[in-house]
Structure 1
Amino acid sequence: MLNIISKTKKNSNKLGGALGLLVIFSYLLAFSQPANAEKASNSSSLERENQGLPIQRRDGGSRSGKLSRCVDSSSNLIALVPEARVASTNSNSPSLFFYIPETTEPKTIEFVLRNEADRLIYEDFITTTGKGIVEVNIPSRILASSVNTEQNYHWYLSLICNPQYRSRDLVVEGWMRQEQLDSATLERLSNTSNTVEKAEIYHQQGFWYDALSMLAKHKVSSTDESAVATKWLNLLQSVNLEELASEPIVESISIKDFANNRSQAELMP
Protein backbone atom coordinates (compact mmCIF):
# COMPACT_ATOMS: atom_id res chain seq x y z
CA MET A 1 0.00 0.00 0.00
CA LEU A 2 2.82 2.40 0.94
CA ASN A 3 4.56 1.58 -2.36
CA ILE A 4 1.41 2.48 -4.28
CA ILE A 5 1.07 5.81 -2.42
CA SER A 6 4.76 6.55 -2.97
CA LYS A 7 4.46 5.84 -6.71
CA THR A 8 1.32 7.96 -6.88
CA LYS A 9 3.12 10.86 -5.23
CA LYS A 10 6.07 10.52 -7.61
CA ASN A 11 3.76 10.46 -10.63
CA SER A 12 1.89 13.48 -9.25
CA ASN A 13 5.17 15.32 -8.78
CA LYS A 14 6.20 14.50 -12.34
CA LEU A 15 2.81 15.58 -13.66
CA GLY A 16 2.93 18.76 -11.63
CA GLY A 17 6.38 19.54 -12.91
CA ALA A 18 5.30 18.96 -16.49
CA LEU A 19 2.25 21.14 -16.04
CA GLY A 20 4.41 23.83 -14.49
CA LEU A 21 6.75 23.81 -17.48
CA LEU A 22 3.75 23.91 -19.83
CA VAL A 23 2.33 26.94 -18.03
CA ILE A 24 5.69 28.75 -18.14
CA PHE A 25 6.10 27.92 -21.87
CA SER A 26 2.56 29.12 -22.64
CA TYR A 27 3.20 32.34 -20.77
CA LEU A 28 6.43 33.01 -22.64
CA LEU A 29 4.74 32.25 -25.97
CA ALA A 30 1.84 34.56 -25.20
CA PHE A 31 4.25 37.28 -24.08
CA SER A 32 6.22 37.07 -27.29
CA GLN A 33 3.21 37.22 -29.62
CA PRO A 34 2.76 41.02 -29.57
CA ALA A 35 6.41 41.50 -30.56
CA ASN A 36 6.03 39.01 -33.41
CA ALA A 37 2.78 40.63 -34.49
CA GLU A 38 4.44 44.04 -34.45
CA LYS A 39 7.32 42.71 -36.48
CA ALA A 40 4.90 41.28 -39.05
CA SER A 41 2.90 44.49 -39.22
CA ASN A 42 6.05 46.56 -39.68
CA SER A 43 7.44 44.35 -42.43
CA SER A 44 8.19 46.15 -45.66
CA SER A 45 5.43 46.28 -48.26
CA LEU A 46 8.14 44.98 -50.60
CA GLU A 47 7.16 41.55 -49.24
CA ARG A 48 3.52 41.99 -50.24
CA GLU A 49 2.55 39.36 -52.77
CA ASN A 50 0.44 40.24 -55.78
CA GLN A 51 -2.72 39.02 -54.00
CA GLY A 52 -4.07 37.52 -57.19
CA LEU A 53 -3.66 40.75 -59.17
CA PRO A 54 -2.38 40.11 -62.72
CA ILE A 55 1.22 41.08 -63.37
CA GLN A 56 2.85 40.44 -66.73
CA ARG A 57 6.11 42.30 -66.99
CA ARG A 58 7.24 40.65 -70.25
CA ASP A 59 5.04 40.64 -73.30
CA GLY A 60 3.72 37.21 -74.21
CA GLY A 61 3.69 37.91 -77.92
CA SER A 62 0.77 39.25 -79.90
CA ARG A 63 -2.48 37.36 -80.03
CA SER A 64 -2.08 37.07 -83.80
CA GLY A 65 1.11 35.05 -83.60
CA LYS A 66 4.84 35.60 -83.94
CA LEU A 67 4.66 36.53 -87.62
CA SER A 68 2.93 39.80 -86.72
CA ARG A 69 5.54 40.86 -84.14
CA CYS A 70 7.24 44.16 -84.90
CA VAL A 71 10.33 43.28 -82.86
CA ASP A 72 12.91 40.55 -83.11
CA SER A 73 11.68 37.20 -81.78
CA SER A 74 14.44 37.21 -79.15
CA SER A 75 13.43 40.63 -77.80
CA ASN A 76 10.66 41.54 -75.39
CA LEU A 77 8.78 44.55 -74.17
CA ILE A 78 9.56 44.58 -70.43
CA ALA A 79 8.19 46.52 -67.47
CA LEU A 80 10.80 47.36 -64.84
CA VAL A 81 8.77 46.13 -61.85
CA PRO A 82 8.85 43.24 -59.38
CA GLU A 83 7.36 40.10 -60.87
CA ALA A 84 5.17 38.84 -58.02
CA ARG A 85 4.58 41.86 -55.78
CA VAL A 86 2.45 44.98 -55.91
CA ALA A 87 5.00 47.75 -55.45
CA SER A 88 4.13 51.13 -53.96
CA THR A 89 4.61 54.82 -54.60
CA ASN A 90 4.30 57.81 -52.32
CA SER A 91 4.27 60.27 -55.19
CA ASN A 92 1.27 62.03 -56.73
CA SER A 93 3.22 62.08 -59.97
CA PRO A 94 5.03 58.72 -60.13
CA SER A 95 7.12 57.51 -63.03
CA LEU A 96 7.09 54.02 -64.48
CA PHE A 97 9.89 52.60 -66.61
CA PHE A 98 9.73 50.19 -69.52
CA TYR A 99 12.28 48.59 -71.79
CA ILE A 100 11.35 49.12 -75.44
CA PRO A 101 13.09 46.67 -77.81
CA GLU A 102 14.34 47.78 -81.18
CA THR A 103 11.59 47.96 -83.78
CA THR A 104 11.74 47.97 -87.56
CA GLU A 105 10.46 51.57 -87.52
CA PRO A 106 9.26 54.09 -84.90
CA LYS A 107 6.15 52.79 -83.14
CA THR A 108 3.42 54.31 -81.04
CA ILE A 109 3.17 53.22 -77.42
CA GLU A 110 -0.04 53.43 -75.41
CA PHE A 111 -0.13 53.75 -71.62
CA VAL A 112 -3.39 53.22 -69.73
CA LEU A 113 -4.10 53.63 -66.01
CA ARG A 114 -7.28 52.38 -64.33
CA ASN A 115 -8.44 52.54 -60.73
CA GLU A 116 -9.65 49.65 -58.57
CA ALA A 117 -13.14 50.01 -60.04
CA ASP A 118 -11.61 49.51 -63.52
CA ARG A 119 -12.44 53.07 -64.48
CA LEU A 120 -10.07 54.72 -66.94
CA ILE A 121 -8.36 57.63 -65.21
CA TYR A 122 -5.41 58.30 -67.50
CA GLU A 123 -4.27 57.50 -71.03
CA ASP A 124 -1.25 58.67 -72.99
CA PHE A 125 0.37 57.87 -76.32
CA ILE A 126 4.11 58.26 -76.81
CA THR A 127 6.68 57.47 -79.45
CA THR A 128 10.40 56.86 -79.30
CA THR A 129 13.20 55.85 -81.61
CA GLY A 130 15.73 53.12 -81.03
CA LYS A 131 15.76 50.71 -78.13
CA GLY A 132 16.16 51.51 -74.48
CA ILE A 133 14.30 52.38 -71.30
CA VAL A 134 11.51 54.93 -71.51
CA GLU A 135 9.90 56.81 -68.64
CA VAL A 136 6.14 57.25 -68.40
CA ASN A 137 5.20 59.96 -65.95
CA ILE A 138 1.68 60.24 -64.54
CA PRO A 139 0.65 63.91 -64.15
CA SER A 140 0.09 65.06 -60.57
CA ARG A 141 -3.49 66.11 -61.28
CA ILE A 142 -4.47 62.46 -61.89
CA LEU A 143 -3.60 60.90 -58.54
CA ALA A 144 -3.76 64.08 -56.46
CA SER A 145 -7.51 64.25 -57.12
CA SER A 146 -8.01 60.81 -55.58
CA VAL A 147 -9.96 60.86 -52.32
CA ASN A 148 -8.34 57.68 -51.03
CA THR A 149 -4.57 57.43 -51.41
CA GLU A 150 -4.44 53.87 -50.07
CA GLN A 151 -5.51 52.11 -53.23
CA ASN A 152 -4.24 50.08 -56.17
CA TYR A 153 -3.99 51.21 -59.79
CA HIS A 154 -3.91 48.87 -62.77
CA TRP A 155 -1.65 49.93 -65.62
CA TYR A 156 -1.07 48.64 -69.15
CA LEU A 157 1.60 49.49 -71.70
CA SER A 158 1.04 48.46 -75.32
CA LEU A 159 3.55 48.61 -78.14
CA ILE A 160 1.32 49.15 -81.17
CA CYS A 161 2.76 47.15 -84.03
CA ASN A 162 -0.10 47.99 -86.39
CA PRO A 163 -2.74 50.61 -85.43
CA GLN A 164 -5.22 48.95 -87.78
CA TYR A 165 -4.92 45.62 -85.95
CA ARG A 166 -4.67 46.26 -82.24
CA SER A 167 -4.80 42.52 -81.52
CA ARG A 168 -1.17 42.51 -82.66
CA ASP A 169 -0.08 44.81 -79.83
CA LEU A 170 2.69 43.69 -77.50
CA VAL A 171 1.38 44.29 -73.98
CA VAL A 172 2.68 44.32 -70.41
CA GLU A 173 0.55 45.02 -67.35
CA GLY A 174 0.88 45.41 -63.62
CA TRP A 175 -0.26 47.25 -60.52
CA MET A 176 0.86 50.20 -58.49
CA ARG A 177 -0.24 51.01 -54.95
CA GLN A 178 -0.28 54.59 -53.71
CA GLU A 179 0.61 54.73 -50.01
CA GLN A 180 1.70 57.16 -47.33
CA LEU A 181 5.20 57.10 -45.87
CA ASP A 182 5.39 56.67 -42.12
CA SER A 183 6.98 59.40 -39.98
CA ALA A 184 10.16 57.41 -39.32
CA THR A 185 10.80 56.94 -43.05
CA LEU A 186 10.07 60.61 -43.76
CA GLU A 187 12.61 61.59 -41.11
CA ARG A 188 15.25 59.26 -42.60
CA LEU A 189 14.68 60.76 -46.03
CA SER A 190 14.90 64.33 -44.73
CA ASN A 191 18.19 63.57 -42.98
CA THR A 192 20.06 62.69 -46.18
CA SER A 193 20.63 64.40 -49.50
CA ASN A 194 22.43 61.43 -50.99
CA THR A 195 20.62 59.98 -54.00
CA VAL A 196 21.74 56.41 -53.41
CA GLU A 197 20.79 56.52 -49.74
CA LYS A 198 17.34 57.92 -50.53
CA ALA A 199 16.79 55.22 -53.15
CA GLU A 200 17.80 52.53 -50.67
CA ILE A 201 15.36 53.87 -48.05
CA TYR A 202 12.53 53.82 -50.57
CA HIS A 203 13.51 50.32 -51.66
CA GLN A 204 13.67 49.00 -48.10
CA GLN A 205 10.13 50.22 -47.46
CA GLY A 206 8.74 48.74 -50.67
CA PHE A 207 8.34 52.02 -52.58
CA TRP A 208 9.79 50.56 -55.77
CA TYR A 209 8.60 53.23 -58.18
CA ASP A 210 10.09 56.03 -56.06
CA ALA A 211 13.42 54.21 -55.65
CA LEU A 212 13.75 53.59 -59.39
CA SER A 213 12.67 57.12 -60.28
CA MET A 214 15.15 58.61 -57.81
CA LEU A 215 18.04 56.77 -59.48
CA ALA A 216 16.83 57.33 -63.05
CA LYS A 217 16.80 61.10 -62.57
CA HIS A 218 20.45 61.05 -61.51
CA LYS A 219 21.70 58.14 -63.62
CA VAL A 220 23.57 60.38 -66.06
CA SER A 221 23.73 63.81 -64.43
CA SER A 222 24.87 62.74 -60.95
CA THR A 223 28.32 63.84 -59.78
CA ASP A 224 28.67 60.36 -58.30
CA GLU A 225 27.60 58.57 -61.46
CA SER A 226 29.33 55.28 -60.63
CA ALA A 227 27.56 54.92 -57.27
CA VAL A 228 24.19 55.62 -58.87
CA ALA A 229 24.91 53.14 -61.67
CA THR A 230 25.90 50.48 -59.12
CA LYS A 231 22.72 51.04 -57.13
CA TRP A 232 20.67 50.94 -60.35
CA LEU A 233 22.22 47.54 -61.11
CA ASN A 234 21.54 46.30 -57.56
CA LEU A 235 17.95 47.42 -57.75
CA LEU A 236 17.34 45.61 -61.04
CA GLN A 237 19.18 42.54 -59.74
CA SER A 238 16.74 42.39 -56.82
CA VAL A 239 13.92 41.71 -59.30
CA ASN A 240 15.98 39.58 -61.73
CA LEU A 241 16.22 42.23 -64.44
CA GLU A 242 19.96 42.83 -64.30
CA GLU A 243 20.24 42.34 -68.09
CA LEU A 244 18.61 45.76 -68.49
CA ALA A 245 21.04 47.64 -66.23
CA SER A 246 23.26 48.77 -69.11
CA GLU A 247 20.39 49.87 -71.34
CA PRO A 248 20.21 53.64 -71.89
CA ILE A 249 17.28 55.76 -70.82
CA VAL A 250 15.90 57.16 -74.07
CA GLU A 251 13.72 60.16 -74.66
CA SER A 252 10.07 59.72 -75.52
CA ILE A 253 7.60 62.17 -77.05
CA SER A 254 3.95 62.39 -76.08
CA ILE A 255 1.50 62.30 -78.99
CA LYS A 256 -1.31 64.45 -77.67
CA ASP A 257 -3.70 64.09 -80.57
CA PHE A 258 -3.10 60.42 -81.43
CA ALA A 259 -6.34 59.20 -79.85
CA ASN A 260 -8.39 61.95 -81.48
CA ASN A 261 -7.03 61.27 -84.95
CA ARG A 262 -7.61 57.52 -85.03
CA SER A 263 -10.05 56.43 -87.69
CA GLN A 264 -12.63 53.69 -87.24
CA ALA A 265 -10.48 51.39 -89.36
CA GLU A 266 -7.66 51.76 -86.85
CA LEU A 267 -9.91 50.47 -84.12
CA MET A 268 -10.54 47.14 -85.85
CA PRO A 269 -9.67 44.11 -83.60
Structure 2
Amino acid sequence: MNHQVALVLTQRIVTRLAASLVLGLWLVPVLSLAQDSDTAPASGRSSGGRGCGTNTLSVASDVPALILLTPGQQAGKTISTRPTFAWFVRDAASLPIEFRLYEQDNDRFKLVKEIKDDRLRSVPGIMLMSAGGALPELTIGKRYRWQVELVCNPSRPSSNLFAEAVIEVVPLQAGLKTQLAQTRDRVNQAKLYAQANLWYDVLKTAFTPPSSATQLHALRQSLLNSVAIDATECKLLQDSSIHAIQR
Protein backbone atom coordinates (compact mmCIF):
# COMPACT_ATOMS: atom_id res chain seq x y z
CA MET A 1 0.00 0.00 0.00
CA ASN A 2 1.55 3.31 -1.06
CA HIS A 3 1.63 6.44 1.07
CA GLN A 4 -1.24 8.21 -0.72
CA VAL A 5 -3.60 5.23 -0.39
CA ALA A 6 -2.67 4.82 3.29
CA LEU A 7 -3.38 8.52 3.85
CA VAL A 8 -6.82 8.27 2.22
CA LEU A 9 -7.73 5.23 4.32
CA THR A 10 -6.53 6.96 7.49
CA GLN A 11 -8.70 10.00 6.70
CA ARG A 12 -11.74 7.76 6.17
CA ILE A 13 -11.16 6.01 9.49
CA VAL A 14 -10.79 9.30 11.34
CA THR A 15 -14.08 10.52 9.83
CA ARG A 16 -15.92 7.38 10.96
CA LEU A 17 -14.44 7.58 14.44
CA ALA A 18 -15.58 11.17 14.80
CA ALA A 19 -19.11 10.11 13.84
CA SER A 20 -19.03 7.29 16.42
CA LEU A 21 -17.95 9.71 19.12
CA VAL A 22 -20.89 11.99 18.32
CA LEU A 23 -23.21 9.00 18.68
CA GLY A 24 -21.78 8.37 22.13
CA LEU A 25 -20.50 4.87 21.41
CA TRP A 26 -17.09 5.59 23.00
CA LEU A 27 -15.26 3.30 20.59
CA VAL A 28 -12.47 5.67 19.62
CA PRO A 29 -9.77 4.03 21.80
CA VAL A 30 -10.25 0.56 20.35
CA LEU A 31 -10.70 1.69 16.77
CA SER A 32 -7.66 3.95 16.68
CA LEU A 33 -4.99 1.59 17.93
CA ALA A 34 -1.43 2.76 17.58
CA GLN A 35 0.59 1.10 14.82
CA ASP A 36 2.94 -1.51 16.22
CA SER A 37 6.64 -0.82 15.74
CA ASP A 38 7.56 -4.39 14.90
CA THR A 39 6.34 -6.59 12.05
CA ALA A 40 2.93 -5.34 10.92
CA PRO A 41 0.24 -8.00 10.51
CA ALA A 42 -1.63 -8.60 7.28
CA SER A 43 -4.54 -6.35 6.39
CA GLY A 44 -7.20 -9.00 7.04
CA ARG A 45 -8.50 -8.98 3.45
CA SER A 46 -8.31 -11.28 0.47
CA SER A 47 -6.60 -9.62 -2.47
CA GLY A 48 -8.66 -7.52 -4.87
CA GLY A 49 -12.28 -8.35 -5.67
CA ARG A 50 -11.56 -11.79 -7.09
CA GLY A 51 -13.90 -14.51 -5.93
CA CYS A 52 -13.91 -18.23 -6.57
CA GLY A 53 -15.66 -17.96 -9.94
CA THR A 54 -19.06 -18.46 -8.33
CA ASN A 55 -22.10 -16.23 -8.41
CA THR A 56 -21.68 -13.29 -6.09
CA LEU A 57 -24.05 -11.07 -4.22
CA SER A 58 -25.29 -8.04 -6.16
CA VAL A 59 -22.50 -5.74 -5.02
CA ALA A 60 -19.50 -4.08 -6.61
CA SER A 61 -16.90 -6.67 -7.58
CA ASP A 62 -14.10 -4.70 -5.93
CA VAL A 63 -15.37 -5.66 -2.46
CA PRO A 64 -13.01 -8.41 -1.19
CA ALA A 65 -14.52 -11.88 -1.14
CA LEU A 66 -13.18 -12.39 2.39
CA ILE A 67 -12.76 -9.73 5.10
CA LEU A 68 -11.63 -10.47 8.65
CA LEU A 69 -13.20 -8.32 11.35
CA THR A 70 -9.99 -6.81 12.65
CA PRO A 71 -8.50 -3.34 13.18
CA GLY A 72 -6.87 -3.39 9.74
CA GLN A 73 -3.08 -3.45 9.69
CA GLN A 74 -2.79 -3.22 13.45
CA ALA A 75 -2.56 -6.11 15.88
CA GLY A 76 -5.81 -6.38 17.80
CA LYS A 77 -5.52 -6.99 21.53
CA THR A 78 -7.55 -9.07 23.97
CA ILE A 79 -7.52 -10.12 27.61
CA SER A 80 -9.48 -13.27 26.74
CA THR A 81 -7.64 -16.55 26.32
CA ARG A 82 -10.70 -17.78 24.40
CA PRO A 83 -11.54 -14.89 22.06
CA THR A 84 -14.06 -14.75 19.25
CA PHE A 85 -12.85 -14.67 15.65
CA ALA A 86 -15.13 -13.20 12.99
CA TRP A 87 -15.00 -12.71 9.24
CA PHE A 88 -17.22 -11.63 6.35
CA VAL A 89 -17.87 -13.82 3.27
CA ARG A 90 -19.12 -11.99 0.19
CA ASP A 91 -20.20 -14.76 -2.17
CA ALA A 92 -23.31 -16.90 -1.85
CA ALA A 93 -21.80 -20.26 -2.85
CA SER A 94 -21.08 -22.70 -0.03
CA LEU A 95 -17.38 -23.52 -0.16
CA PRO A 96 -14.95 -25.28 2.19
CA ILE A 97 -13.17 -23.03 4.67
CA GLU A 98 -9.88 -23.74 6.41
CA PHE A 99 -9.00 -22.00 9.68
CA ARG A 100 -5.45 -21.88 11.04
CA LEU A 101 -3.96 -20.49 14.21
CA TYR A 102 -0.23 -19.76 14.50
CA GLU A 103 1.72 -18.81 17.62
CA GLN A 104 4.60 -16.34 17.37
CA ASP A 105 7.95 -17.84 18.30
CA ASN A 106 10.65 -15.16 18.09
CA ASP A 107 10.38 -13.81 14.53
CA ARG A 108 8.34 -16.69 13.14
CA PHE A 109 4.84 -18.06 13.54
CA LYS A 110 4.37 -21.79 14.10
CA LEU A 111 1.13 -23.65 13.43
CA VAL A 112 -0.71 -24.69 16.60
CA LYS A 113 -4.14 -25.58 15.20
CA GLU A 114 -5.71 -26.24 11.82
CA ILE A 115 -9.42 -26.82 11.21
CA LYS A 116 -10.49 -28.16 7.83
CA ASP A 117 -13.36 -30.58 7.50
CA ASP A 118 -16.71 -30.94 5.78
CA ARG A 119 -18.53 -29.14 8.62
CA LEU A 120 -16.70 -25.86 8.05
CA ARG A 121 -18.16 -24.24 4.95
CA SER A 122 -18.74 -20.64 3.93
CA VAL A 123 -22.03 -18.82 4.40
CA PRO A 124 -22.62 -15.35 2.96
CA GLY A 125 -22.48 -12.75 5.71
CA ILE A 126 -20.56 -12.62 8.98
CA MET A 127 -19.24 -15.88 10.41
CA LEU A 128 -18.27 -16.16 14.08
CA MET A 129 -15.96 -18.74 15.63
CA SER A 130 -15.55 -18.78 19.40
CA ALA A 131 -12.33 -20.25 20.73
CA GLY A 132 -13.98 -23.11 22.61
CA GLY A 133 -13.25 -26.79 22.34
CA ALA A 134 -12.15 -26.61 18.71
CA LEU A 135 -9.29 -24.24 19.46
CA PRO A 136 -6.63 -24.32 22.19
CA GLU A 137 -6.69 -21.81 25.02
CA LEU A 138 -4.38 -18.92 24.17
CA THR A 139 -1.50 -17.84 26.40
CA ILE A 140 -1.31 -14.43 28.03
CA GLY A 141 1.62 -12.45 26.69
CA LYS A 142 1.67 -14.30 23.36
CA ARG A 143 0.94 -13.14 19.83
CA TYR A 144 -0.95 -15.27 17.35
CA ARG A 145 -1.66 -15.05 13.64
CA TRP A 146 -5.03 -16.37 12.53
CA GLN A 147 -5.85 -17.21 8.95
CA VAL A 148 -9.04 -18.00 7.06
CA GLU A 149 -8.74 -19.70 3.67
CA LEU A 150 -11.61 -20.04 1.21
CA VAL A 151 -11.07 -23.18 -0.86
CA CYS A 152 -12.06 -22.37 -4.43
CA ASN A 153 -10.71 -25.57 -5.95
CA PRO A 154 -9.23 -28.39 -3.82
CA SER A 155 -7.16 -29.50 -6.84
CA ARG A 156 -5.64 -26.03 -7.28
CA PRO A 157 -4.56 -24.59 -3.91
CA SER A 158 -3.03 -21.59 -5.67
CA SER A 159 -6.55 -20.43 -6.60
CA ASN A 160 -7.71 -20.29 -2.98
CA LEU A 161 -8.42 -16.98 -1.26
CA PHE A 162 -7.11 -16.22 2.20
CA ALA A 163 -6.85 -13.41 4.71
CA GLU A 164 -4.94 -13.22 7.98
CA ALA A 165 -4.46 -10.97 10.99
CA VAL A 166 -2.59 -10.86 14.30
CA ILE A 167 -4.09 -11.03 17.78
CA GLU A 168 -2.18 -10.34 20.99
CA VAL A 169 -3.27 -11.65 24.40
CA VAL A 170 -2.43 -9.10 27.08
CA PRO A 171 -2.72 -9.22 30.89
CA LEU A 172 -5.82 -7.85 32.59
CA GLN A 173 -4.79 -4.67 34.36
CA ALA A 174 -5.88 -4.27 37.98
CA GLY A 175 -7.77 -1.03 37.33
CA LEU A 176 -9.77 -2.54 34.47
CA LYS A 177 -10.49 -5.66 36.53
CA THR A 178 -11.98 -3.51 39.28
CA GLN A 179 -14.08 -1.50 36.83
CA LEU A 180 -15.41 -4.63 35.11
CA ALA A 181 -16.37 -6.13 38.47
CA GLN A 182 -18.48 -3.07 39.20
CA THR A 183 -20.82 -3.47 36.20
CA ARG A 184 -22.77 -6.28 34.59
CA ASP A 185 -24.06 -4.10 31.78
CA ARG A 186 -22.55 -5.32 28.51
CA VAL A 187 -22.53 -1.90 26.87
CA ASN A 188 -20.61 -0.42 29.81
CA GLN A 189 -18.23 -3.37 29.67
CA ALA A 190 -17.67 -2.74 25.95
CA LYS A 191 -16.87 0.90 26.69
CA LEU A 192 -14.27 -0.18 29.24
CA TYR A 193 -12.73 -2.59 26.74
CA ALA A 194 -12.68 0.16 24.12
CA GLN A 195 -10.92 2.58 26.45
CA ALA A 196 -8.28 -0.12 27.06
CA ASN A 197 -7.74 -0.74 23.30
CA LEU A 198 -9.08 -4.31 23.56
CA TRP A 199 -10.51 -4.78 20.06
CA TYR A 200 -11.40 -8.47 20.31
CA ASP A 201 -13.14 -8.03 23.66
CA VAL A 202 -15.36 -5.32 22.18
CA LEU A 203 -16.05 -7.65 19.25
CA LYS A 204 -16.91 -10.56 21.54
CA THR A 205 -19.24 -8.39 23.63
CA ALA A 206 -20.99 -6.94 20.58
CA PHE A 207 -21.66 -10.30 18.91
CA THR A 208 -22.31 -12.63 21.84
CA PRO A 209 -26.02 -13.56 22.03
CA PRO A 210 -28.36 -12.17 23.09
CA SER A 211 -27.23 -9.02 21.30
CA SER A 212 -30.50 -7.53 20.08
CA ALA A 213 -30.56 -4.62 22.54
CA THR A 214 -30.59 -1.26 20.79
CA GLN A 215 -27.29 -0.10 22.30
CA LEU A 216 -25.54 -3.38 21.54
CA HIS A 217 -26.84 -3.21 17.98
CA ALA A 218 -25.41 0.31 17.66
CA LEU A 219 -22.13 -0.93 19.11
CA ARG A 220 -21.98 -3.72 16.54
CA GLN A 221 -22.79 -1.36 13.68
CA SER A 222 -20.07 1.06 14.77
CA LEU A 223 -17.57 -1.80 14.92
CA LEU A 224 -18.49 -2.86 11.37
CA ASN A 225 -18.21 0.74 10.18
CA SER A 226 -14.62 0.81 11.38
CA VAL A 227 -13.79 -2.32 9.36
CA ALA A 228 -15.28 -1.04 6.08
CA ILE A 229 -13.18 1.27 3.91
CA ASP A 230 -15.99 2.69 1.77
CA ALA A 231 -19.77 3.12 1.68
CA THR A 232 -20.35 -0.07 -0.33
CA GLU A 233 -18.51 -2.22 2.17
CA CYS A 234 -20.18 -0.44 5.06
CA LYS A 235 -23.69 -1.20 3.79
CA LEU A 236 -22.79 -4.76 2.90
CA LEU A 237 -21.35 -5.50 6.35
CA GLN A 238 -24.22 -3.85 8.19
CA ASP A 239 -26.85 -5.72 6.15
CA SER A 240 -25.14 -9.08 6.67
CA SER A 241 -26.66 -12.02 8.45
CA ILE A 242 -24.67 -13.37 11.41
CA HIS A 243 -23.78 -17.06 11.55
CA ALA A 244 -22.25 -18.67 14.63
CA ILE A 245 -20.05 -21.66 13.80
CA GLN A 246 -20.86 -24.67 15.97
CA ARG A 247 -17.81 -26.82 16.68
> What interval of TM-score do these two structures reach, taking the shorter chain for normalisation?
0.7 to 0.9
Counterpart residue type for residue 237 of structure 1: N
Q: Highest relative contact order (Cα 8 Å, sep 6+), 1 or 2?
A: 2
Q: Which residue of 2 aligns with 1:178?
A: 169
CA distance in 1: counterparts of 2:123 and 2:111, whole angstroms: 29
Deviation at 1:98, TM superposition (A): 0.2
167 and 103 in structure 1: CA distance in 2 versus 1, 3 angstrom threshold: farther
CA distance in 2: counterparts of 1:230 and 1:186, whole angstroms: 25
Counterparts in 2 of 1:219-258, with a 5 A limit? Answer: 221-222=210-211, 225-240=213-228, 242-243=234-235, 244-254=237-247
CA distance in 2: counterparts of 1:133 and 1:167, whole angstroms: 25
Deviation at 1:225, TM superposition (A): 1.6
Deviation at 1:248, TM superposition (A): 1.6
248 and 239 in structure 1: CA distance in 2 versus 1, 3 angstrom threshold: same
CA distance in 2: counterparts of 1:205 and 1:181, whole angstroms: 10
Q: Does the CA-based 8 Å contact 2:144-2:168 persist in structure 1? A: yes
Deviation at 1:44, TM superposition (A): 7.6
Structure ranking higher in helix proportion = 1
CA distance in 2: counterparts of 1:168 and 1:160, whole angstroms: 8
Give the counterpart of 1:194 among 182, 185, 195.
185
Unaligned runs of at least 5 residues, structure 1? 1-42, 255-269
Q: Which residue of 1 aligns with 2:43?
A: 56
208 and 169 in structure 1: CA distance in 2 versus 1, 3 angstrom threshold: same
Counterparts in 2 of 1:15-164, with a 5 A limit? Answer: 47-50=33-36, 51-61=38-48, 66=50, 68-70=52-54, 72=56, 73-75=61-63, 76-104=65-93, 106-117=94-105, 118-125=109-116, 126-128=119-121, 130-139=123-132, 142-144=136-138, 146=139, 149-164=140-155
Q: Secondary structure of 2:162's partner?
A: strand
Q: Secondary structure of 2:104's partner?
A: coil
Q: Which has the larger radius of gyration?
A: 1
Q: Does the CA-based 8 Å contact 1:128-1:252 persist in structure 2? A: no
Counterpart residue type for residue 137 of structure 2: L
Q: Secondary structure of 1:107's partner?
A: coil
Counterpart residue type for residue 99 of structure 1: F
Root-mean-square deviation (CA, aligned residues, Å) is 2.6
Give the number of aligned pairs.
Answer: 202
Tell me which stretches of 4 or more aligned residues in structure 1 moved more than 6 Å.
none
Instruction: Note the alpha carbon deviations across 1:104-148, whole angstroms, 9 max, x for none.
Output: 3x211111111112211111135346411111222377235x4xx
Q: Does the CA-based 8 Å contact 1:46-1:205 persist in structure 2? A: no
CA distance in 2: counterparts of 1:203 and 1:69, whole angstroms: 39
Instruction: Note the alpha carbon deviations across 1:166-217, whole angstroms, 9 max, x for none.
Output: 1111111110001111111111111111111111211221111111111101
CA distance in 2: counterparts of 1:93 and 1:133, whole angstroms: 19
Unaligned runs of at least 5 residues, structure 2? 1-28
Q: Does the CA-based 8 Å contact 2:143-2:169 persist in structure 1? A: yes
